[in-house]
Structure 1
């Protein structure tokens, strides 16, 4: 049986192992539901396996693991970009073992290649991208940038559909309904409390500094105060220039959920590279009835995976979300499965 150790040992490993380890470290920047970071990497030689960490699944918000898988897909895309920018070519097998559903992807280094400029641009964006729940600037998202975001989703096998004014009103009604439905469930409030009140030093969950302001907006945002009540008031005093969109896939299987996560990562990184900002809206997906409302918005042509709020960011600094330590999410083995020297 292969034994795994902490990622700092990769310093002594072959170049492919070092590159995969660094890619997995960078993947820790990916967005995830409630910043749960529900993934784990196992790396041996020139192969990295991405696994779902079911201990971090949210049983009330995400009972079927859809959003967990979307989160892991975002981490997978981050890792692929990071690996490509250090000159390695890789083949990725997604859901490679039907008997092991927690094995979401297997990434194998197959050679070297010159980094593409597009990948370098996305890698630059990784260090700057944050989920931005603040009101956006009073500036429209430029149409060319929106076009780039839609193309980014398509390259990952998903679709990004910007919404018109009437559709935004329907999204607002659905989001308000989702907020009321979830807050009425004491299990949801307990789960929200657990992920917004993490002990200091746990390096996951949603911190107050990254939570949303509570101004009424065209589409209500998730209330992250488990002791409060959902604010379903809408108004156009802030976020008047925000663009709302739905990220969808053609079918609704775990493979689609993973692809949606990769597309979400591509859209968010492209937005950052284009000078835009974004925050996912997942509560409207978490309630079956409102998820169906979004599907109706798509005229039944696809399955909604997440809604997105897109805009031009303000000038003030944005707090970064906490991230787990690499040693907590990455396991490494050498060719013989022997443990290596300690991390540094």
Structure 2
């Protein structure tokens, strides 16, 4: 296979371009903990341990979920250009090589693939309060269906389960606040002016928003304006799966990307909530909330943006840092 039927570009260039598009994926603290290697007709995704949050994420759970999100972004880019792909996840077993993508041939570009592909540049974390309007039930079901199609499930939480999530989040926040290593890591990754990695002031709330589930404390105030709205009409969901291992986390990241891009297409804002999943006690609270039917990967808040504007984007590393061609 030599060329893209749309661009006539060589396959290595197509794969490299897909990896560059995938750099827009979400990641914990905008750490972008991935590395793409283009080797002939193969695109390989590696965990980049130099950008792992050693204190916050010692097991690499959030790193792998982040890598799953960039994997889904790359797959979606290729589908949006009319390519069928073969994806081998953990081809060498558990380790730093997380996935290998090969092109299998040209396919018709579906309307859904094209629409989701176009949302990639508009997907940003939204930490602002949401509008005082409930999310339509059919929209929430669309998010759940998107996650399910990627091998994970989204449990939409009822009031008691939201209380469990709030409790788990508060417990995790107490642990984080008392851990000097985690606080030092927050200082390294959040606040101030950022040009390539981390969270700049522009995406950190200027004051704590009024929420049912507390948002993460970043060790200081940012410059993101926060209005007087309350998120009482927001919906909360818990992304989970059957396995608490590297493959499960990877698929969880792919599901996160799929549901998030679906949310953007539907005009919804997403705020991921990873703090309670980062500590064992928080995970146990959430497992109990799931009646022990699965392992929690991440929670999300879903809402209608209060003012209809897109949230600020976070910076990205140059492609030369994350995409390498052999």
Give the TM-score normalised by structure 1.
Answer: 0.87
Question: More relative contact order in 1 or in 2 (CA 8 Å, sep 6+)?
Answer: 1
Contact 1:281–1:309 (Cα < 8 Å) also in 2:
yes
* Gap runs ≥5 in structure 1: 1-12, 229-235, 334-344
Which among 205, 210, 222 is matched to residue 216 of structure 1? Answer: 210
* Residue in structure 2 matched with residue 161 of structure 1 by the alignment: 155
1:61 aligns with 2:56: yes
Tell me the secondary structure at the aligned position of residue 240 of structure 1: helix
Q: 1:96 aligns with which of 91, 99, 118?
A: 91
Q: CA deviation at 1:227?
A: 9.2
1:113 aligns with 2:84: no
Quote the offset at 1:215 in angstroms.
Answer: 2.4
Displacement after TM superposition at 1:44 (Å): 2.0
Higher radius of gyration, 1 or 2:
1
Q: In 2, Cα distance between the equivalents of 1:209 and 1:136?
A: 18
Equivalent-residue separation in structure 1 for 2:10 and 2:137 (angstroms): 42
- How far does residue 45 in structure 1 lie from its aligned partner after superposition? 2.2
2:318 pairs, out of 321, 325, 328, with 325
Give the TM-score taking structure 2 as reference length: 0.92
Tell me how far apart the structure 2 counterparts of residues 65 and 318 of structure 1 sit (CA, whole Å).
27
Match of 1:25 among 9, 20, 23: 20
Aligned length: 313
In the alignment, which residue of structure 1 is the partner of 2:10?
15
Residue aligned with 2:314, SS: coil
Match for residue 174 of structure 2? Answer: 180
Is the 1:87–1:113 contact (alpha carbons within 8 Å) kept by the matching residues of 2? yes
Task: Specify every segment of 5 or more residues in structure 2 that has no aligned partner in the other structure, as ranges.
Answer: 1-7, 223-227
SS in 2 for 1:127: helix
Match of 1:146 among 133, 140, 143: 140
How far 1:207 sits from its partner (Å)?
0.9
Question: CA deviation digits over 1:210-267, x for unaligned, max 9?
Answer: 1134123111000112699xxxxxxx96101110110000111110010000000001
After superposition, the CA RMSD in angstroms is 1.9
- Three-state SS of the structure 1 residue aligned to 2:130 is coil
- The question of whether the paired residues in 1 share the 8 Å contact of 2:193 and 2:201 is answered with no
Q: 1:50 aligns with which of 25, 30, 45?
A: 45
